[in-house]
C-alpha cells in the first residue's frame, strides 16, 4: 500500500462546479497535511495546509481532514479553467521530507 494515495484522474468538471479531490494515507501518526497545485511545466505551489480534523476554508478552497478515516480532501468551489492543474496531496509521516501522492489531474471545462 502506498503511503499517500490519490486518484490520478483526470477529473473533469464544468466551469462553475465544485471540484472534489481526495487523498488517503496509511500512517496514522501523520500530523500535517498539505495540498499543492502544479501547473504543467511548473513547480508545485502550496495552496492549503490543515492540521486539525474538520474543515478549513480559504477563498474558494476548502480542505477537509478526517484522521479517523485517514483521508484529506480539497474542494474547489466555482471552478475556473485556470484551476486546471495537477493537485498533489502531501503529508509528514515522520520523515524530514514531505511524502507526496502522485497527484490528481483536474480539468475544468469552459
Partner 1 sequence: GAVVSQHPSWVICKSGTSVKIECRSLDFQATTMFWYRQFPKQSLMLMATSNEGSKATYEQGVEKDKFLINHASLTLSTLTVTSAHPEDSSFYICSAKTSGRRETQYFGPGTRLLVL
Q: Which residues bind partner 1 (CB under 8 A)?
A: 32, 34, 36, 41-46, 49, 51, 88, 90, 92, 96-98, 100, 102-103
- Closest approach, Cβ 17 to partner 1, in A, equals 26
Q: Which is nearer to partner 1, 2 or 16 (CB)?
A: 2
| Cross-strand pairs, 20 | 75
d(CA 88, CA 38): 7
Extract the C-alpha cell encoding 24: 488517503
- Closest approach, Cβ 62 to partner 1, in A, equals 18
Phi/psi for 82 (5° steps) reads -70, -10
- Closest approach, Cβ 34 to partner 1, in A, equals 7
Q: What is the DSSP letter of 3?
A: S
**Nearest-5° angle of CA 62, CA 12, CA 22?**
40
Amino acid at each position: 500500500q502506498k503511503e499517500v494515495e490519490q486518484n490520478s484522474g483526470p477529473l473533469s468538471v464544468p466551469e462553475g462546479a465544485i471540484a472534489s479531490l481526495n487523498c488517503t494515507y496509511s500512517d496514522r501518526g501523520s500530523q500535517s497535511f498539505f495540498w499543492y497545485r502544479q501547473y504543467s511545466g511548473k513547480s508545485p505551489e502550496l495552496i492549503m495546509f490543515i492540521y486539525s480534523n474538520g474543515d478549513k476554508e480559504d477563498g474558494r478552497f476548502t480542505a477537509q481532514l478526517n484522521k479517523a478515516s485517514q483521508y484529506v480532501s480539497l474542494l474547489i468551489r466555482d471552478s475556473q479553467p485556470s484551476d486546471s492543474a495537477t493537485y498533489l496531496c502531501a503529508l509528514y509521516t515522520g520523515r524530514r521530507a514531505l511524502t507526496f501522492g502522485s497527484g490528481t489531474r483536474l480539468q475544468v471545462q469552459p
